[in-house]
Amino acid sequence: MKLDLKELIGIAASTRGNIESTVIQEVTKDSRVNSPQSLYIPIAGEKFDGHNFLLQAIEQGAVASLWQEGTPIPQELDPAFPLLIVKDTIEALQQAARVFLKKVKPVVIGVTGSNGKTTTKDLLEAVVSTSFKTHKTKGNYNNHIGLPLTILSMDNDTQVIILEMGMSNFGEISLLSKLSQPDLAIVTNIGESHIEYLGSREGIAKAKLEIKDGLKEGGLLIVDGDEPLLSHLSSPNVLKCGYDEDCTVKIVNQEGDEDGFTFGLEGESTIYSLPLLGTHNVKNAAYAIAVGHYLNIEDSAINEGLKNITLTNMRLEKYRGQHGALLINDAYNASPTSMIAAIQAVKDLQNYKKKVLVLGDMYELGPSEEEMHRKVAAHIDETISEVITVGEKGKWIGEEIKKKNIPGQNVSVFLTKEEAAGAISSLLSEDTVVLFKASRGMALESIVKPFIDDVQEAGK
């Protein structure tokens, strides 16, 4: 990015230092990271106050800083050093993002949903970047601080920006949508994530649909067409993607194997190829195709983008394990919906005699957490040869599966990852596939790494 600091004077209550001739090429909130020609954003947190680290930020390349009113300015600070003095540095960061967004004027795509946000974001980038200069949310920069930082990190010639929008409570998506004013908004699905705070799936749907609050007039809303809680949405500016007869973007002729899927869309002749596991990812790809059509991208370019998708880590990530086993690391996070989808992805694999599930705790499910864990067991049948559960909550899944007494199926319940790891090693062979799935707090990926034989992804 490149921005004259004087373009941000409007967000300041007052200024100090040399504002007029200062140019910023980066925005940072981390005084420890080398950030040449940057605008420093000091944020007062629970443990640390970023204002205390301004001098370190300057050593790392900061040429200007926001500064919260009432906070003492370091005596040793050069009086010529530019400060934009604001009422609140987080609100000022958001205002700065609005200024830069209006300057660059990219097409804005907002993505939210209980599951699949990050994969859909990656698919969108793969498709859109075939034809446009594209920028997307990196990592988990999807909240009231991360989203404006994402906007302020795009190049000035960016044509399309893809913004992931996360939340844990009401009002948060609304803020992000109003801040970014998307031209297109996508709701990938409605699951159970954060149900502890939102009360019900109906509450989750309401919170996710806040993405409409900032949608530009005439903007396009793309939603999961198979979700009953979204069925009431009906207008020329709403696209429903999925398998239901009423979907405006209907997936047809789907076929899959270990290498991914081929599928079409009703009314089209193009056959799309997707090198990802999981039927749910076909729907995520359909969202990206719908956006591609909206942006008038040729089908051949869309297909090429899908074929070359690079996913963010720990999303159904395939590795070749010891003794030739296929390891699937889907351990970034989990809810009942995403865990069931990952289990189905394993069940769909035809070339493996032994299918092993390593399932851990799912968090933020509220008072119904035990029931929701136990319901996962209903989706585990005789095609699964081994189930290993990890953690105090994961054990509920194991206990429920044991009640089914499926012939030939072994179920092991462990409280620690170390115990589970000991049981996995003896199961690995060429005809074995192992899925690792749990909430982020479990860090289940730590027991995947020792079993990886090839650091390259399987099949690549």
Binding annotation for ATP: 113-119
For residue 49, what is the DSSP state?
A: B
Name the nearest CA neighbour of 386 among 356, 425, 426. Answer: 356
Give the number of other Cβ atoms within 10 Å of residue 227's Cβ. Answer: 21
Cα dihedral sign, 83-86-88-93: negative
Residue type, 91: E
In Å, the largest CA–CA distance within the chain is: 77
Binding residues: 113-119
Q: How far apart are CA 86 and CA 5, in angstroms?
A: 14
CA-CA-CA-CA dihedral for 448, 450, 452, 455, to nearest 10: 110
Give the number of other Cβ atoms within 10 Å of residue 294's Cβ. Answer: 15
Residue matched to tokens 């399932």: 359
Give CA separation, 381 vs 235, 340, 406, in Å: 40, 12, 7
Token representation of residue 95? 């205002």
Token representation of residue 99? 């200024």
Q: Identify the burial level of 26 via C-beta atoms within 10 angstroms of its C-beta, where 0-12 means exposed, 13-18 middle and 19 or more buried.
A: buried
SS (HEC) of 380-428: CCCCCCEEEEECCCHHHHHHHHHCCCCCCCEEEEECCHHHHHHHHHHHC
Q: In what order do the strands lie in the sheet with 317-321?
A: 410-414, 386-390, 354-359, 432-437, 326-329, 317-321, 452-457
Q: How far apart are CA 165 and CA 47, in angstroms?
A: 25
Residue type, 246: D
The number of residues making up the chain comes to: 460
Token representation of residue 248? 């405006």
Helix (H) or strand (E) holding 95: helix 89-104
Three-state DSSP class for residue 363? coil
Q: Identify the burial level of 31 via C-beta atoms within 10 angstroms of its C-beta, where 0-12 means exposed, 13-18 middle and 19 or more buried.
A: buried
